[in-house]
A = this chain, B = another copy of it.
Amino acid sequence: MKKGKFIGMGVGPGDPDLLTVKAVKTLNNIDVICAPKSAESKPSLALSIIQSVLNQRINDYITLEPLFPMIEDKNELQEYWKEASKLIIEKLDAGKDVAFITLGDPTLYSTFSYVFKLIYDLDYETEIIPGITSFTGCSAAAKISLAEKDEIVVIVPKVDGRLPQILEHGDTFVIMKTSRHTEKLKEIINGDERNKEIISVQNCSMKDEKVRNGFTEEKNYLSTTIIKFNK
């Protein structure tokens, strides 16, 4: 029997209309959808984004919702990824195509990459469908250009000790999950004497999207701060 294909699919930042045509076409026919969740009680945000597409399907599909808890221990996490890949491989071996959905793009800061490696190494047919990244969703919402001409853009997923070092070498900084470390970020950015424009976006492209000048004050997982140093 022909084995199924494993597809990684970005569903974009939140607005279902920011799905690609390719993602919608795939979702209309896919046998199995894999949508990990971080806790048993917490439905997958990525799954909610594609729900309106799934609601229009005529034929049945299977949904896998493996648990990927938000823990730091990589050894423990690996067990969860292996467990998820087993569930997926079972479906692939039965000839079913599986789409693993991720918020934003599957190649940027996604747990998809760990599961993908496990399955790719076993020689299954694979495909990656890119998605709108949260940070271009944020710049679109804020109506600012991220970069022009020869400007360098730096994407920093976490405010940590390396940020001050790289700061002077780039022009635009996209800092993710900033609401966790607003004070630390303020201190680092204000320490740079160049002229700057600071814009924060929360829940980009969703109904409760917020765009503001300056740093984020509220706690929110989906917070991004864009800092543009003007030459």
Residues of A participating in the B interface, judged by any CB pair closer than 8 Å: 8, 10, 12, 15-22, 24-25, 105-110, 112-114, 116, 120, 126, 128-133, 136-137, 139-141, 143-158, 160, 162, 165-166, 169-170
Contact = CB atoms under 8 A, between A and B. Distances in A.
Nearest to A18: B20
B113 A148 contact: yes
Contact of A152 (B24, B105, B148, B155): B155
A12 B132 CA distance: 9
Contact of A16 (B21, B126, B148, B153): B21
A148 B19 contact: no
A157 B162 contact: no
Contact of A108 (B25, B143, B146, B158): B146
Contact of A140 (B12, B128, B146): B128
A117 to B, nearest CB: 8
A152 B114 CA distance: 18
B131 A143 contact: no
B157 A147 contact: yes
Contact of A157 (B107, B114, B151, B154): B151
Contacts of A153: 108, 154-155
A27 to B, nearest CB: 11
Given A20-B19, A110-B145, A162 B155 contact: no
A108 B228 CA distance: 13
Contacts of A108: 136, 139, 145-147, 153
A107 B140 contact: yes
Contacts of A155: 147, 152-155
| Pairs of residues from A and B, 10 with the lowest C-beta to C-beta distance, nearest first | A113-B145, A166-B169, A17-B22, A107-B139, A128-B140, A153-B155, A130-B136, A130-B140, A150-B158, A105-B136
B105 A120 contact: no
A213 to B, nearest CB: 16
